[in-house]
Amino acid sequence: MPYINVKVAGKLTQKQRKEIVSDITNTMLKVAGKPASSTYVQIDEVPRNQWGVGGKMLSEK
């Protein structure tokens, strides 16, 4: 039973979430032979002010 956790900076639309879940699930089936019925995908939308890269907060870019 695969469990995939995706973290993204900022908000996604419902359409984007659906596409991400579908594509990841299909990739697990194609590459690892894991059935869609047992593949769990969780998306965490983290505010940009809680992410940093290159020594700066994403909210400052």
**Catalytic positions, written as ranges:** 2
Rg of the chain over Cα atoms, rounded to whole angstroms, equals: 14
Give CA 43 to chain center in angstroms: 5
The phi and psi torsions of 12 (rounded to 5 degrees) equal -120, 160
